[in-house]
């Protein structure tokens, strides 16, 4: 989908594929079970707030990743 992490040419603004970046970082930290949603807050506005798609008028969303320490 254009606008969901698609690479940009020129001086910017650029788009970051946050899903892939976070999954790669989690994998490098030893996380072995990673799932990624295909939903996009910018393209599925009926389901999610999207700050960027609304030009700053919508609310905010947050995601969380946690790991329990090994016992």
Query: Looking at residues 8-21, what average pLDDT do you find?
Result: 73
Q: Is residue 28 included in any domain, yes or no?
A: yes
**55 is written with which tokens?**
């030009």
Burial 30-66 (b: 16+ CB within 10 A, else e): eeeeeeeeeebbeeeeeeeebeebeeeeeeeeeeeee
User: For residue 1, what pLDDT is reported?
Assistant: 41
Q: SS3 string of 11-68?
A: CCCCCCCHHHHHHHHHHHCCCCCCCCCCCCCCCCCCCCCCCCCCCCCCCCCCCCCCCC
Q: Is residue 50 included in any domain, yes or no?
A: yes
User: For residue 9, what pLDDT is reported?
Assistant: 66
Q: Is residue 71 included in any domain, yes or no?
A: no
Q: Is residue 3 included in any domain, yes or no?
A: no
Query: Looking at residues 2-28, what average pLDDT do you find?
Result: 72
Q: Residue 19 is part of which domain span? A: 10-66
């Amino acid at each position: 989908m254009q606008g969901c992490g698609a690479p940009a040419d020129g001086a910017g603004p650029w788009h970051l594929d946050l899903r892939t970046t976070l999954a790669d970082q989690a994998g490098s930290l030893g996380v072995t079970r990673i799932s990624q949603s295909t939903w996009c807050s910018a393209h599925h506005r009926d389901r999610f707030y999207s700050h960027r798609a609304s030009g700053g008028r919508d609310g905010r969303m947050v995601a969380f990743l946690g790991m329990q320490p090994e016992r």
